[in-house]
Structure formats: C-alpha cells, structure tokens
Amino acid sequence: MGMWLMFLLSVYAVPILVYLAFAVPALYYLRHREMDETSRAVWSLTIIAVPVMGAVAFAAMRPGGRSP
C-alpha cells in the first residue's frame, strides 16, 4: 500500500501544491495593483485557468502600478 500512496501523492498532491504555491501569491499581488476592473478580471481568470504559466506571466509582465 505504501508504493501506491506515494504514487497517488506524486500524481495528485504535488501538482496541486505547486499550483497553489504560484497562484495564491499572484492573486494576492493582483489585488494590490492599480488597474481597472476588466484587466483585473482577465488577469485573475488567466492565473486560475492556466495554472502555473498564468502566475508566471503575471509576475513577468507586472501589469498596473502599486496602489498608494
């Protein structure tokens, strides 16, 4: 049973943890950016729909400015 548990963890749990490690900080920083609501909605959908690459693209492009 131990080998199957490790297999299931590596197939399901590790990708979910990687997704959360990228998506949660990106959504947090998106909340503090100064931009219009349409751009914010598109970025949030991109971060959620394209798991790791959406967050990496948000970090690389750094849209909007810091709110005061």
| pLDDT for residue 1 | 64
- What is the model's pLDDT at position 68? 43
User: How many whole angstroms separate alpha carbon 60 and alpha carbon 5?
Assistant: 36
Query: So what's the pLDDT on residue 9?
Result: 82
pLDDT string in tens for the chain (68-residue length): 688 888 888 888 888 999 999 999 999 999 888 889 999 999 999 999 998 899 889 888 888 766 44
Residue 22 is predicted with a pLDDT of 92
- pTM for the whole thing? 0.75
Neighbours of 13 (CB within 10 A): 10
